[in-house]
Amino acid sequence: MQESSETKSNRPTADIPAMPDDLLSAAAEAASATTEAASAAAAASAPPQAISTAASVPPLPASQIDYGLLDSLRAGQASVTEATQKFIQKLGDYLSAALDDATSLEVRTYVSEDIGTVTYEKGQLTGGARLRAMTRVNIDGDSLVCVPETDGELDTAVWQVHMDMLRQAQESRADLMRTMVAAAGSLANILAPKA
Evaluate if residue 29 carries a pLDDT over 70. Answer: no
* pLDDT tens by residue, 105-142: 889 988 888 888 999 988 888 888 888 999 998 878 78
How confident is the model at residue 53, as a pLDDT?
47
Average pLDDT, the chain: 74
Q: What is the mean pLDDT of residues 40-63?
A: 57
* pLDDT tens by residue, 126-185: 888 888 999 998 878 788 888 888 888 888 888 999 999 999 988 888 888 888 788 778
What is the C-alpha to C-alpha distance for residues 172 and 162, in angstroms, rounded to an integer? 15
Interstrand relation of 104-111 and 130-138 (parallel, antiparallel or unpaired): antiparallel
Between CA 99 and CA 108, with CA 102 as vertex, the angle to 5 degrees is 150
**pLDDT range class, residue 89, cuts 50, 70, 90:** confident
**pLDDT range class, residue 23, cuts 50, 70, 90:** low
Q: How far is CA 120 from CA 107, 126, 129, 135, 149, in A?
A: 15, 6, 10, 19, 24
Give bridge partners of residue 108 from the DSSP assignment: 134
Most confident of 38-42, 79-83, 94-98: 79-83
